[in-house]
Amino acid sequence: MEIKKVNLNEKFGLINKYWCPGIAGKLNGQLVKLAKLKGEFIWHKHEFEDELFFVIEGLLKIALENKVLELQVGEFVIIPKGVMHKPIAENEVRVLLFEPESTVNTGDIENEFTFNPDFI
């Protein structure tokens, strides 16, 4: 197996659709995903998986049932399994997601945002 470094700018350049993550790496049953976000996503939860959002570029808001978190560049949050949340990106945001391989991006809801990522 060849060990290669990952250039985030290069990988983000391969993503051409908002809310459609690409897989940048895999380790121990976890996926490292990159995504460009813009607009509002849907309220959803993940019954069995925690989800990490790490902001690489932009300002990401994550609405929770009782508050709204604002994540700046260099900040991350872990949304525990079972917690309803709604990501909001008023302008383009680039995020790194770290989550189990089984995680579906729309959690317990299937709609036009549901996306199965590929390696980028």
Question: Which residues constitute the domain of residue 34?
Answer: 8-100
CB neighbour list of residue 107: distance below 8 Å, 6 or more residues apart: 44, 45, 46, 47
Tokens at residue 97, please? 């997601």
On whether residue 109 sits in a domain, the answer given is no
On whether residue 115 sits in a domain, the answer given is no
Task: Specify the residue for token string 């060990």.
Answer: 3
Mean pLDDT (10-residue bins), the chain, 120 residues:
92 94 92 96 91 97 98 98 97 93 63 66
- 52 - beta bridge partners? 78, 98
**pLDDT score of 1:** 73
Residue type at position 50: D
DSSP 3-19: -----HHHHHHT--STT
On whether residue 108 sits in a domain, the answer given is no
- As for how many domains the chain has, the answer is 1
On whether residue 34 sits in a domain, the answer given is yes
What is the CA 30 to chain-centroid distance, rounded?
Answer: 13
Residue type at position 25: G
**pLDDT score of 119:** 76
* Predicted model pTM: 0.87
**pLDDT score of 115:** 61
What is the CA 94 to chain-centroid distance, rounded?
Answer: 9
CB neighbour list of residue 4: distance below 8 Å, 6 or more residues apart: none
**pLDDT score of 100:** 73
